[in-house]
Copies of this chain bind each other. A is one copy, B any other.
Amino acid sequence: MRLPLHLRSLRLVLYAYVPYAYVPYEADEIPVTIYFTHMNLKLQIDSARLEQHLIELAQIGARTDGGVCRLAFSDADLEGRAYVEDVLSEAGLEIRIDPVGNLFAILRGTSTLPAIMIGSHTDTVATGGRYDGALGVLAAVECALRIKESGWVPNRSIVVASFVNEEGVRFMPDMMGSLYHSGQISLDAVAAATDLNGVSIGQELTRLQGYAGTETLEDIDVGYFLELHIEQGPVLEDEDLDIGVVTGVQGLSWTEVTVHGASNHAGTTPMERRRDAGLVSGELMSNLRQLPNEIEGLRLTIGSVTYHPNLINVIASKVQFTVDIRHPDSARLQDAEARVKRLLTEQSVCQITCKSLARVEPCTFSEQVVSAVQNASDTSGYSSKQMISGAGHDAQILNSKFRSGMIFIPSRGGISHNIEEYSSLKQVVAGANVLLGAVQHLTEK
- Residues of A at the B interface (CB closer than 8 Å) are 231-235, 238, 250, 252, 254, 256, 263-271, 273, 276, 278-279, 282-283, 285-286, 289, 292, 298-307, 310-316, 319, 322, 324, 326, 357, 389-392, 414-418
Contact = CB atoms under 8 A, between A and B. Distances in A.
A278 B303 contact: yes
Given A238-B273, A254-B312, A303-B311, 5 more contacts: A233-B267, A254-B313, A265-B414, A279-B289, A301-B313
Given A312-B357, A324-B313, A301 B415 contact: no
A362 to B, nearest CB: 12
Nearest to A313: B324
B286 A414 contact: no
Contacts of A232: 265, 267-268
15 contacts: A233-B265, A233-B270, A234-B269, A254-B312, A256-B312, A263-B418, A267-B389, A271-B300, A273-B414, A276-B301, A278-B301, A279-B289, A282-B282, A282-B286, A303-B310
A329 to B, nearest CB: 15
A421 B238 CA distance: 58
Contact of A301 (B250, B252, B315): B315
A233 B274 CA distance: 11
A266 B324 contact: yes
Report which residue of A252, A314, A319 has the largest number of chain B beta carbons within 10 angstroms of its beta carbon. Answer: A314
Please give the count of copies of this chain that the complex contains: 2
B273 A234 contact: yes
B299 A271 contact: yes
Nearest to A273: B234
Contacts of A254: 312-313
Nearest to A416: B265
A415 B235 CA distance: 52
Contact of A267 (B235, B256, B265, B392): B392
Given A234-B270, A282-B289, A265 B304 contact: no
B390 A299 contact: no
A299 B266 contact: yes
Q: Which 5 A-B pairs have the closest CB atoms?
A: A233-B268, A268-B390, A266-B301, A267-B390, A312-B322
A209 B235 CA distance: 67
Counting chain B CB atoms within 10 Å of each CB, which of A254, A264, A301 scores highest?
A: A301
B252 A267 contact: yes
A268 B418 CA distance: 14
Q: A271, A298, A310, A418: which has the most chain B beta carbons within 10 Å? A: A271
Nearest to A417: B265
A361 to B, nearest CB: 14
Contacts of A233: 265, 267-270
